[in-house]
C-alpha cells in the first residue's frame, strides 16, 4: 500500500469518518478475467472480505467459512492431479509435493500473480499494516475464492479454477521446499552463511478467543524478519520463511 494510502487511512480513523475501502465492485471485472470464471457477485464479495473489515462494518459476512470450504477443494484437486500425473512417485513424495503446492507461500504467489491484494476488503488496522501483501491474508483469500466458485458454479468449475491457478506451480514445486519446513531451512542456510543460530521472540495481542501472535527472528545482532499467525508456531514459521527468503535474495 502506498504512503498516501496509509495517511488517508490514518486521517479517516482519527477523524472518525467512515472507512471506505479503495476497491469498488465495478473494479472486479479484472479479477473475474484473471480467474477465468464468473462468480456470483455476493459470494465473490464475501470471499474478498477479511474479518477485520467485517468487525468494523456491522458484522457483514466475511470469508472464513468460504476459506474452510475452499481449502478442502484445493487439497482434493491438487492431490488428484499429482496422483494421476506422477505414477512413479510414492506416497511420501506425493505428500511433500502437495504440501508445497497448497502452502501459504504458494497460494500467496498465486494471489500476487492475479493482483488479488487490490480487491481485498480490509479493516483499518490491516490497511495500515500492509495487509494487502500479507502472505496469510492472500492465501486465505485464494481459498475463499475457490469456495465461492464451488457454491456459485459447482464442483467441476471449482476444480478447474484450482488447476488454472496452480498450473504455473506444478512445473516447479521444488521452489516451495522451504515452505514445508522453514525453520530448518533457515537454520541450514544461516549456518552455510556463517550467521549462527536463528533466535525467535514472540508476542501476542487480542482477546483470548481471537489472539494473534507476532514472531521476530534474529540472526546475530540483526532482527531479520517477522511473521504473524494465530499460534506461536505459525508466527515463527512465517518469520522463518520471510528470513529465509531475504537471505536467499541477498547473497
> Strand pairing partners for 212?
205
Q: Return d(Cα 103, Cα 80) in angstroms, integer.
A: 17
- Give percent of the chain above pLDDT 70: 85
Give the best-scoring range by mean pLDDT among 13-27, 68-82, 212-226. Answer: 68-82
pLDDT for 245: 78
pLDDT for 197: 95
Residue 9 grid cell: 487511512
Q: Inform me whether the pLDDT recorded for 21 exceeds 90.
A: no
pLDDT for 11: 32
* 69: nearest Cα among 133, 122, 135, 142: 142
Residue bearing the bigger pLDDT, 234 or 201:
201
Q: Inform me whether the pLDDT recorded for 51 exceeds 90.
A: yes
pLDDT for 172: 66
Q: Is 67 annotated as a binding residue?
A: yes
Residue with cell 522451504: 178
Residue with cell 521444488: 174
Q: Inform me whether the pLDDT recorded for 241 exceeds 90.
A: no
Average the pLDDT over each of 16-25, 90-99, 110-119, 158-167 and give the range with the smallest value: 16-25
Per-residue pLDDT of 165-205, as tens digits, reads 998 888 765 566 666 678 888 998 999 999 999 999 999 98
Q: Which residue ranges does the chain devote to CATH 1.10.1520.10?
A: 24-171
Q: Catalytic pick from 126, 143, 226, 236? A: 143
Q: Average pLDDT in the 135-153 region? A: 96
Q: Which residue ranges does the chain devote to CATH 3.30.160.20?
A: 182-249
Query: 24-171: which CATH number, 1.10.1520.10, 1.10.287.70, 3.30.565.10, 3.30.1060.10?
Result: 1.10.1520.10
CATH number, span 182-249: 3.30.160.20
Residue bearing the bigger pLDDT, 126 or 18:
126
Q: Is 166 annotated as a binding residue?
A: no
N-to-C CA span, the chain: 27
Average pLDDT, the chain: 85
Q: Average pLDDT in the 67-88 region? A: 96
Per-residue pLDDT of 101-127, as tens digits, reads 898 878 988 998 899 999 999 999 999
pLDDT for 88: 94
Q: Return d(Cα 213, Cα 200) in angstroms, integer.
A: 12
- Is the Cα dihedral 188, 174, 246, 235 positive or negative? negative
For residue 139, what are the CA distances in angstroms to 92, 125, 128? 24, 19, 19
pLDDT for 176: 62
Question: Is 71 known to be catalytic?
Answer: yes
Average the pLDDT over each of 63-72, 110-119, 136-145, 203-212 and give the range with the smallest value: 203-212
Amino acid at each position: 500500500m502506498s504512503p498516501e494510502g496509509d495517511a488517508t487511512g490514518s486521517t479517516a480513523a482519527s477523524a472518525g469518518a467512515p472507512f471506505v475501502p479503495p476497491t469498488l465492485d465495478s473494479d472486479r471485472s479484472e479479477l473475474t478475467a484473471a480467474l477465468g470464471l464468473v462468480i456470483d457477485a455476493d459470494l465473490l464479495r464475501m470471499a474478498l472480505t477479511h474479518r477485520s473489515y467485517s468487525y468494523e462494518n456491522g458484522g457483514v459476512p466475511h470469508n472464513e467459512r468460504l476459506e474452510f470450504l475452499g481449502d478442502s477443494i484445493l487439497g482434493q484437486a491438487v492431490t488428484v492431479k499429482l496422483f494421476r500425473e506422477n505414477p512413479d512417485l510414492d506416497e511420501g513424495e506425493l505428500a511433500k509435493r502437495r504440501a508445497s503446492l497448497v502452502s501459504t507461500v504458494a497460494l500467496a504467489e498465486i494471489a500476487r500473480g492475479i493482483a488479488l491484494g487490490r480487491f481485498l476488503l480490509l479493516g483499518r488496522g490491516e490497511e495500515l499494516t500492509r495487509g494487502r501483501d500479507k502472505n496469510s491474508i492472500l492465501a486465505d483469500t485464494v481459498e475463499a475464492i475457490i469456495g465461492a466458485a464451488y457454491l456459485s458454479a459447482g464442483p467441476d468449475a471449482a476444480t478447474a479454477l484450482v488447476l488454472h491457478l496452480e498450473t504455473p506451480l506444478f512445473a516447479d514445486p521444488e521452489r516451495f521446499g522451504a515452505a514445508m519446513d522453514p525453520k530448518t531451512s533457515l537454520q541450514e542456510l544461516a549456518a552455510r552463511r556463517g550467521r549462527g543460530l536463528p533466535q525467535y521472540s514472540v508476542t501476542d495481542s487480542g482477546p483470548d478467543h481471537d489472539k494473534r501472535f507476532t514472531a521476530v527472528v534474529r540472526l546475530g545482532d540483526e532482527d531479520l524478519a517477522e511473521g504473524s499467525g494465530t499460534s506461536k508456531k505459525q508466527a515463527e514459521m512465517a518469520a522463518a520463511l520471510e528470513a529465509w527468503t531475504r537471505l536467499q535474495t541477498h547473497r
